[in-house]
Chain A
Amino acid sequence: MEGLYAFCVGLLTACGIFLALRGRTFSVVIGLTLLSYAVNLFLFASGRLKLNAAAVLGESEQYSDPLPQALVLTAIVIGFAMTAFAVILAMRARADLGNDHVDGTLPAQPGDASKKSGGSQ
């Protein structure tokens, strides 16, 4: 099970990082979200995987490690705030700069499809 879990963490990390390296803000936000899943799973796993061992006294024979869980719980909520901040920042950047590229300016490539990004009215 641990191997499978580790594989999933690695895959999520790779997907997150690949998307975080894209040039458009929305892809980066998606990438960061995937990455934060991976990070949360990773941190959680530092308390080791246990089945049927919720950290509630009297509910089971042995308890999973509650400390990483407490840390990850707040990390999930903070992660939401971070995603929200990033995406609102992306919207604001688009509103003020007129495009959604992470650098704030569109790369100068002749004949690229960037004009489509604005949509048409």
Chain B
Amino acid sequence: MSSLIWLPFLPLLGTLIPLITARFSRTACAFMTAALPALTLFLVLTHAGDIFQGERFQAALPWIPAIGLELAFRLDGLALLFSILILGIGLLVILYARYYLSAKDSIGKFYSYLILFMFAMLGVVLSDNLIQLWFFWELTSISSFLLISFWGHKTEARKGARMALTVTGAGGLALLAGLLILGNTVGSFSLQDVLDSGELIKASANYPIIVVLVLLGAFTKSAQFPFHFWLPNAMAAPTPVSAYLHSATMVKAGIFLMARFYPALADTDLWFMIVSLTGLATFLVGAYIAIFQHDLKGLLANSTISHLGLITLLLGMGTDLAAVAAIFHIINHAIFKASLFMAAGIIDHESGSRDMRQLNGLWKYMPYTATLAMVASASMAGVPLMNGFLSKEMFFTETLHQASLGSLSWFIPVLATLGGVFAVAYSMRFIHDVFFNGEPINLPKTPHEPPRYMRVPVEILVGLCLVVGIFPSLVVGDLLFAAAEATLNGPAPTYSLAIWHGFNFPLLMSVIALLGGLYMYHNRHHMFKFQAQFPTSDPKLVFEGVIQYLTNKASRIIAFTENGSLQRYTFFVLAFAIVMTASTLMKLNTTAGQRPEIPLDALSITCAVLLCVSALATVLWHRRRVIALLTLSVVGLIVSLAFAQFSAPDLALTQLSVEVVTVILLILALFFLPQNTPKESSPRRVVRDLSLASLIGGVIGTISYALMTRPLDTISTFFTENSKTGGGGTNIVNVILVDFRGFDTLGEITVLGIAALGIYKLIAKMRLYMPSSDDNGLAWSEDRYPILLAVISQSLLPLALLVSAYIFLRGHNMPGGGFIAGLITSVAIIQQYVAHGVDWIKTRLKLDYQIMIGSGIGIATLSGLGSWVFGHTFLSSWFDYFYLPVIGKFELASAMVFDLGVFLTVVGATMLILANLGQLTTSERPIQKEHD
């Protein structure tokens, strides 16, 4: 059973083989490529016996069961039939392509794409889950794009591939929407559940939407009218691709989809109307156009469209027997059309042309190939003793037994017969125009028979045409029956696969079709003359025009929304955010919650007033940048006071030291940036921004207030309880940082290091204009390093480092720790830079800050990895208490090593940024004028 899971993945593995073996001879490559598909075919066939007995194999690997995602495969009659077609014809195509492709073509790449496509197709037919089915469906579109565009140097190959991808890809999106609605309606994405819920689906209000969307997917894939135009354009592909994709597999995927969902979606008036009328239109249009093609492959492509229409029409008739006929015709069409494409490829390959105006009288040059092609054509035309005749007879019979159009139902058999007439006419053209009808005209090569083994696949397929045509129930009886049962999700109707049913109406229709077709072909010159009166419209040009139009419209919309103004984008993003939050906030009934508030005191009010005044001053004077910076630093100081007041000493210390480095950074930056901002916002923009900013501020304030006045249900109890016993420290914040959430901290210091290195790279080679005076024209002070500052800072350094060490060591139990100690150390070093200049420091302090960052992150990671040695998870900490004389009891914890890493990273990162920026003011003096 589990082998079923691997079934489609064997070919996936096989995509690598041609790439590896392409270095050997082409024959070796072909054989090795064929090995895995052959094995897969063998495995599939081992299940055949049980399936004929009515069994169904299913296997699934759950992935995300909660939302119905799983890797699920099923092998029932329908899947078996399609698997045999995909793998069997695929193997023949591998053999055929070995001879078809020239030495210039990369055979490894070709086979790899081909096998990838085979994998995708197998995935589609074996899927037991809707989403998974869709995934493989899209994969067939993509891999067929690669195959059609295999000769990418040709314009028509690129255009054809793009068109095929656009049409089938768009259909795929519709299908996805349809399948999602379908899955939600049923409540399950499992295919079996969907097939068993036919009644529920048809009763649902979503039914019409589902049917239309799913059928859009099927019709685009199977080139049904009006989406049929991509198929003839895809003929730019190498012929083995056409033989495979456009006869047996890819275009049949749409048919497969309709057959697969037949029990779930069919059997309603809506289905019959859409499916049968689309099928009928496609059947007639394709057959009619086929007659007038001069390109051999163009004729076959349009005939394929017509036959796909025929199958669709059968699936839309609504009788069980029609469904059986449809499946039978799937088999027959795959066999004769693949052989015809291959024959066309041989003719093209050995004569150098596919144009039927040049190809004449080839019978003399390649009698053997001609015979094979004629038999296959006869099958396409529906001549007795061929397989095509049998299913066409069944088709004619079913057209007589349907009533989908009410009193107008008699139209269908009449039009079906007309389509049959066309089919005989174009089949006749394929035989007579190519193999007889005088002598070849201006062929690039003298035609001759192909290599022996190039003919083998055609021989096998033509042989099948005859064998199935003569002994139908013996050869395909079981397969057809099993597939029909799977399609109907119930017992198959009784039918007879005999050649002779006596003189009856369908036989008469066949006879009319044969004679009418011969007559039509005989008088083809009149028809060509008649057809020439119509203006020719190339669907390719129309399609390209539509695409061009859409592209132009899209770029106009983009030009409107994306005008390159960051201010505008920021405004849009913020406005959108406010709409989203405010609408949710309105649902909250009261602003204030139940939690009692802390009473106000005078100091807090004073601080708050100071904060508000400085914040407003920053905004008010933001164009005078130095002043704005000063008021900003006041805001920062009060924020750190706020942290101190509300019981967060660690935060207060951090904020304070960060404040210092931030202000130094911004002052340094201001040296290089203009010191004033020009007034350029229009009053309208100021009002707009002010309104938005106040609105957001109000909303954030409201959320904050609502949050704070509501009771808290925290998860921090765990940390409080385990801080001492589990982490060995009494400062819970620090224990969280270095122990409980140590992995987060590791990530954070890594980000810090990356940011610092990024800044270092940005600073390097920065060519900045250095002003020699401030904006008011005042020269800078001559006294670069005031002696007083130098003396004091020098004596402060050891003190600062001592404080830093103290803060670091006590961090685990009292406010402090690596972050804060690192920042204090940085401030102490920066002070030396400020007091003495970079050159003075450089000779005395030889620290490589990059190495410092690296070793910091390294130490932190290693301290985490260390716990693996003792069999614990990453970053588990260890601690114990020791006694030393003089010092007394002290604690050692592995978390301190981690904190050391944090310390080093913080110092390294801060210094790398500031020291390098500061260096710009001294050693490097790029003398460059402004260019604005």
Residue numbers in B under 8 Å from A59 (CB-CB):
730
On whether the beta carbons of B736 and A76 are closer than 8 Å, the reply is no
Residue numbers in A under 8 Å from B720 (CB-CB):
55, 57, 63, 66
What distance in Å separates the Cβ of A104 from its nearest Cβ neighbour in chain B?
A: 9
Q: Does B67 make an interface contact (CB < 8 A)? A: no
Residue numbers in B under 8 Å from A50 (CB-CB):
646-647
For the complex, would chain B's binding face be called helix, strand, loop or mixed by DSSP majority? helix
Residue A64 contacts which of B646, B715, B744 (CB distance < 8 angstroms)?
Answer: B646
On whether the beta carbons of B693 and A55 are closer than 8 Å, the reply is no
Residue B680 contacts which of A12, A95, A112 (CB distance < 8 angstroms)?
Answer: A112
What distance in Å separates the Cβ of A81 from its nearest Cβ neighbour in chain B?
A: 4
What distance in Å separates the Cβ of B771 from its nearest Cβ neighbour in chain A?
A: 5
On whether the beta carbons of B696 and A14 are closer than 8 Å, the reply is yes
On whether the beta carbons of B813 and A56 are closer than 8 Å, the reply is yes
What distance in Å separates the Cβ of B642 from its nearest Cβ neighbour in chain A?
A: 7
What distance in Å separates the Cβ of A61 from its nearest Cβ neighbour in chain B?
A: 12
In the assembly, what is the distance between CA of A92 and CA of B813, in Å?
A: 43
Known contacts A14-B693, A70-B733: does B724 contact A57 (CB below 8 Å)?
A: yes
On whether the beta carbons of A17 and B693 are closer than 8 Å, the reply is yes
Q: Does B358 make an interface contact (CB < 8 A)? A: no
Within 8 A of A (CB), among B591-635: 595, 597-600, 604-605, 608, 611-612, 615-616, 618-619, 622-623, 625, 628-629, 632, 635
On whether the beta carbons of B646 and A88 are closer than 8 Å, the reply is no
What distance in Å separates the Cβ of B755 from its nearest Cβ neighbour in chain A?
A: 4
Within 8 A of A (CB), among B641-684: 642-643, 645-651, 654-655, 658, 661-662, 665-666, 669-670, 672-681
On whether the beta carbons of B771 and A119 are closer than 8 Å, the reply is yes
Residue numbers in A under 8 Å from B732 (CB-CB):
55-57, 63, 66
Residue numbers in A under 8 Å from B917 (CB-CB):
88
Residue numbers in A under 8 Å from B673 (CB-CB):
25-26, 90-91, 94, 100
Q: Does B46 make an interface contact (CB < 8 A)? A: no
For the complex, would chain A's binding face be called helix, strand, loop or mixed by DSSP majority? helix
Residue numbers in A under 8 Å from B762 (CB-CB):
85, 88-89, 91-92
Q: Which of A11, A14, A20, A52 has the most CB of B within 10 A?
A: A14
Total cross-chain contacts (CB, 8 A): 349
On whether the beta carbons of A12 and B615 are closer than 8 Å, the reply is yes
Residue numbers in A under 8 Å from B736 (CB-CB):
66-67, 70
On whether the beta carbons of B618 and A112 are closer than 8 Å, the reply is no
On whether the beta carbons of B622 and A30 are closer than 8 Å, the reply is yes
Q: Which one of B360-368, B702-710, B878-886 is at the A interface?
A: B702-710
Q: Does B639 make an interface contact (CB < 8 A)? A: yes
In the assembly, what is the distance between CA of A16 and CA of B574, in Å?
A: 12
The chain B residue sitting closest to A14, CB to CB, is: B697
Residue numbers in B under 8 Å from A44 (CB-CB):
643, 646, 648, 651
Residue numbers in A under 8 Å from B846 (CB-CB):
none
Known contacts A24-B677, A48-B595, A54-B649: does B632 contact A34 (CB below 8 Å)?
A: yes
Q: Does B698 make an interface contact (CB < 8 A)? A: yes
In the assembly, what is the distance between CA of A37 and CA of B654, in Å?
A: 13
On whether the beta carbons of B619 and A119 are closer than 8 Å, the reply is no
Q: Does B783 make an interface contact (CB < 8 A)? A: no
Q: Does B309 make an interface contact (CB < 8 A)? A: no
Residue A42 contacts which of B635, B700, B755 (CB distance < 8 angstroms)?
Answer: B700
The chain A residue sitting closest to B701, CB to CB, is: A10
In the assembly, what is the distance between CA of A119 and CA of B703, in Å?
A: 44
On whether the beta carbons of A40 and B639 are closer than 8 Å, the reply is yes
On whether the beta carbons of A41 and B650 are closer than 8 Å, the reply is no
Within 8 A of B (CB), among A70-97: 70, 72-74, 76-85, 87-92, 94-96
Residue numbers in B under 8 Å from A7 (CB-CB):
608, 612, 701
Within 8 A of B (CB), among A1-31: 1-27, 29-30
By Cβ-Cβ distance, the 3 closest A-B pairs, closest first, are: A10-B701, A14-B697, A6-B705
Q: Which residues of B contact A (CB under 8 A)?
A: 564-567, 570-571, 574, 595, 597-600, 604-605, 608, 611-612, 615-616, 618-619, 622-623, 625, 628-629, 632, 635-636, 639, 642-643, 645-651, 654-655, 658, 661-662, 665-666, 669-670, 672-681, 689-690, 692-694, 696-705, 707-709, 712, 714-716, 719-720, 723-724, 730-733, 736-737, 741, 744-745, 748, 751-752, 755-756, 758-759, 762-763, 766-769, 771-772, 775, 813-815, 819, 823, 906, 909-910, 913, 917, 929-932
Pull 25 A–B residue pairs with CB atoms less than 8 Å apart, ordered by A. A2-B709, A12-B635, A16-B693, A18-B693, A21-B571, A24-B678, A26-B670, A34-B632, A44-B643, A51-B646, A53-B647, A55-B720, A57-B724, A64-B646, A66-B736, A69-B651, A74-B748, A80-B662, A85-B759, A88-B669, A98-B932, A114-B680, A116-B674, A119-B675, A119-B930
